Structure 1
């Protein structure tokens, strides 16, 4: 049965805490900020007209490599690093991927690319049980879902280069027109210290059963 409004979000947070380790989220936050810093530093030698593109490309590659290592360290079986393709891992019931967003134009960034669209569709049961709150609708206990680590590029450094300002986690709605849940990683980490937080699962479900590594799409334009 769906949860009552308000209670559903709290239960969804518990579900995320159960399946996504605190240390992994901390590693993702570090990966995003370190990748951003390296990307901007490596781009300083380019001409001014090339520098914005160089910053974005470098940020993407440095962040993807660190994100891949974080997934690997937590047994998330990441898909291979390959150019601008989306890197995907799995922790518990959740597919985990990342995306960078220019400004706060989240919806448009998520709708780019077939892989993100496919991943978002796994949130159908989560939407119906925790967010939709339709007591007359049939619901299933979620056995699969998708979380994105979102790097928000909404600032400028001293050289005028686009700079990362925050890292959040987000569960997009299946239709990708809105979000079931968003929260800054720094704020979400406090939930692991709450007395009623549930213990994390010991065993993960089979990795990416319905999404083969050959299906991962292109992440070009979301550096």
Structure 2
């Protein structure tokens, strides 16, 4: 009988994706969204939501790619509508935008669905009763998801939240999902095995005393 692992997807993310990558991407996506909104100002209200949506895609792709470059996360080049990806540890990183609460929209991209198939290897961490064996994965996929309000009348210039999300192999469910603001706190908690030794050995009082002739007792 296979011994169940104590590994979690959050553990995998913290171990493979450095904090500076997480925080750099969060800042970059917020900046990209702001640039998109200001670039769309002055357009007719009739198609403003469509314009803002398209500009968010391009500006946030650029800012995401720059954040990957700065943090040495192996960014793919920007090419039209192609998905920009990075790589750190076992994780391939990508991004997309949604309207708040409509997470199923992430499946619209065939490329994202194909990428998510790699997560079959980490599904046992969430559904151990369905899988008898777990092997440490060599690759997995995580998305940075910028969630925007459904209406441009509510916080139009920035995401309501930016989350890190790990889909299942079919991208019709989420193995892990958490706002970056909450996820970043995980880096402050080291596993017990990495904590320092708190023991403080004491020498016996007699050790180290010298006689008048300079010899140690």
Q: CA deviation at 1:12?
A: 2.0
Larger Rg: 2
> Cα–Cα, structure 1 residues 197 and 30, in superposed 2: closer, same or farther, change >3 Å?
farther
User: Does the 8 A contact of 2:75 with 2:84 survive in 1?
Assistant: yes
Partners of 2:172 and 2:186 lie apart in 1 by 27
Higher relative contact order (CA 8 A, sep 6+): 1
Which deviates more from structure 2 when the two are superposed, residues 116-125 or residues 75-84? 75-84
TM-score, L = length of structure 2:
0.81
1:37 corresponds to: 34
> Cα–Cα, structure 1 residues 187 and 77, in superposed 2: closer, same or farther, change >3 Å?
same
Structure 1 residue matching 2:65: 3-state secondary structure: helix
Instruction: Say whether 1:152 aligns with 2:147.
Output: yes
Mind listing any 5+ residue stretches in structure 2 that lack a counterpart? 195-217
1:63 corresponds to: 60
CA RMSD of aligned residues (A): 2.3
Structure 1 residue matching 2:80: 3-state secondary structure: coil
Paired residue for 1:111, among 91, 107, 125? 107
1:66-95 Cα distance to aligned partner (Å, 9 max, x none): 100111122222111122211011111001
Aligned residues: 193
2:183 corresponds to: 188
Residues 52-131 of structure 1 correspond to what in structure 2 (within 5 A)? 52-107=49-104, 109-128=105-124, 130-131=125-126
TM-score, L = length of structure 1:
0.79
Partners of 1:198 and 1:28 lie apart in 2 by 29
Paired residue for 2:172, among 170, 173, 177? 177
Mind listing any 5+ residue stretches in structure 1 that lack a counterpart? 200-223
